[in-house]
Structure 1
Amino acid sequence: MGKLVDEFNAYRAKMNEKILASDNKVMKRIYSLDTLTYQEGALSTKVKEMLGLATSMVLRCDDCVKYHLEKCYEQGVTTEEIFELFGVANLVGGTIVIPHTRRAVEYWEELNNSPLN
């Protein structure tokens, strides 16, 4: 992948390791609940990751947006689907979401190893 993706994943892994090494029961349970939430169920993992991405955009969490973009990529979400999702997130979240959309497009391009035209 590209530099943005590599740096984000390296930092995330390093810090998650430190957090989990604290052996804090609440933090471990939160991490476990997060993992369980995105497993296949009545909703597919793909749909759950798309929901995670849309809600992360509305909440304006760039780290969460990057994480869910990568998961969406792994689930085979298309660029067309991503842009429809961006439309929903911007409608619900308002124009304050636009800067996060810009960064999301940049990250999505890097995941796909090609600029969008």
Structure 2
Amino acid sequence: MTDRMDEFAEYRQRMNERISQIDHLGIKRFFNLDTTAYHDGALDGKTKELLGLVASAVLRCNDCIDYHLIQCVEAGWTDAELHDALNVALIVGGSIVIPHLRHAVETIDLLRARE
């Protein structure tokens, strides 16, 4: 059965491949920066993904929330830790984040159902 997570992964991969064909230095540099920013540094990659999740929720980007939740679940964050991080996003972003909190909780449930 295909769920929205499968559709998201397929769409993201297809469009990233298409974007990689665009001959534009600025776009290529940004995509490279976006990838390398989450590598281990003073903060480990696992922590950076959690920070990415919080920022994505505050910025109200559901695709970004899904991506970072996939990475966070793969990195081993527990539901309690993810919920705590999402609480920070809710406090920082305010009540306008609530619909995206709903989306995030549904995504966590979908990802856990696959385990």
Normalised by the length of structure 2, the TM-score is 0.95
Question: Is the counterpart of residue 50 in structure 1 residue 50 in structure 2?
Answer: yes
Deviation at 1:26, TM superposition (A): 0.9
Length, aligned pairs only: 114
Match of 1:28 in 2: 28
In 1, distance between residues paired with 2:33 and 2:10?
22
Q: Deviations over 1:51-108 (max 9, x none)?
A: 0000110000111111100010111010000110111000000000000000111111
Q: Deviations over 1:21-70 (max 9, x none)?
A: 11211111101001110001110111100000001100001111111000
Match of 1:9 in 2: 9
Structure 2, unaligned runs of 5 or more: none
- Would you identify which runs of 4 or more consecutive aligned residues in structure 1 move more than 4 Å? none
Q: Quick one: structure 1 residues 2 and 82, their matched pair in 2 at CA, closer, same or farther if it must change by over 3 Å? A: farther
In 1, distance between residues paired with 2:4 and 2:102?
14
Whose RCO is larger (CA < 8 A, sep 6+)?
A: 1
Give me the CA root mean square deviation.
Answer: 1.3
Tell me the percent identity.
49
